[in-house]
Structure 1
Amino acid sequence: MSTIQTKQNTTTNTSALQESLNRQIAGWSVLYTKLHNFHWYVKGPHFFTLHAKFEELYNLATANMDEVAERLLMIGGRPVATIAEQLHLSPIAEVQGQMSAEQMVEQVIADLNAMLSVIHQGIYEAGEAEDNATEDILIGFTAALDKEIWMLNAFLGK
């Protein structure tokens, strides 16, 4: 492969990785807001448990969003930083209507699975771009999200 072809492939791979990382930033941002909604509006016998859990999860979303944005800047990208951009790119939808506590948990599980899908795509793109550091960050996210999904499913008795 010529030097020009190698440079073009690296640029293409980096561009795809940057797009994937921006989808993650967007998803974490929307999920952060959604988790605040659930934190504020959860009611019922599981209030204390879920109120604290949703806070833990929105703090996780914030940390992950910031880590991805900083990594994106390190590799020459520009993180999406407006609500309009984030809503457009996000794999997560905003909250629609009132939900029971159990519905909130089911929605969080679905959203975390959506984030896992985007993260797996990012791991693939990082591998294609030969960006081991980004790949490592994202692999770390998957272990944490797998555990959260398992725990939330256990809460629902699944």
Structure 2
Amino acid sequence: MAYQETKKIMNEIVADLTQAHMLVHQHHWYMLGRGFLNLHPYLDEVMDELSEQQDGVAERLIEINGSPISTYEEVLEKTNIADQVGSWNLSIEDRFQLIVDAYKQLRDDYERGIKISEDEGDDSTNDLLIAYHTAIEKRIWMMSAELGKRPGDGE
């Protein structure tokens, strides 16, 4: 049970989930404008889901004898989601587009992880990643709809 490539992609996923959570939290704090009262609590739900996935991926990584990254330095080294300074000057639409873009990166991460874990014969990790991929696709659809777009628009 080596699963070396699976362990590698799982740590990339941990990094991107951590960075996505920080991005969502930032927009949760800096959001202003029409829709705030509905969207602010919605982002709490989004953050909870990201935290649950982060914990699930990290724990599965431990189960296959891996070591999840656990410092901000490691996250910044491995993440594929851009870091940005918080700003009051973004519209709610711009904020949601940045979150959708981060979710599309997570979707791509999960797709790579699904392929790698399948190739390495790690069925349990594969099942976990498929479930999380499905949840991420649903969020992309819902947030894209909030922006007046279909999930595949702009790709």
Would the TM-score normalized by the shorter structure come out above 0.5? Answer: yes
Gaps of 5+ in 2: 150-155
The total of aligned residue pairs comes to: 147
**Root-mean-square deviation over aligned CA pairs:** 1.2
Is the Cα–Cα contact under 8 Å of residues 119 and 138 in structure 1 kept in the other structure? yes
Match of 2:104 in 1: 113
Poorly superposed stretches of 4+, deviation over 3 Å: none
Match of 2:33 in 1: 44
TM-score, normalised via structure 1 length: 0.89
Is the Cα–Cα contact under 8 Å of residues 91 and 115 in structure 1 kept in the other structure? no
Match of 1:94 in 2: 83
Tell me whether 48-57 or 79-88 shows the greater mean CA deviation: 48-57
Identity across aligned pairs (percent)? 30
- Which structure's CA Rg is the greater one? 1
**1:96 positional shift:** 3.7
Gaps of 5+ in 1: 1-9
Aligned partner of residue 66 in structure 2, secondary structure = coil
Q: Distance in 2 between matches of 1:17 and 1:34?
A: 25
Q: Distance in 1 between matches of 2:40 and 2:108?
A: 26
TM-score, normalised via structure 2 length: 0.91
- Choose which of 1, 5, 11 in structure 2 pairs with 1:16: 5
Deviation by residue 1:57-76 (Cα, 9 ceiling, x = unmatched) = 11111000000000000000
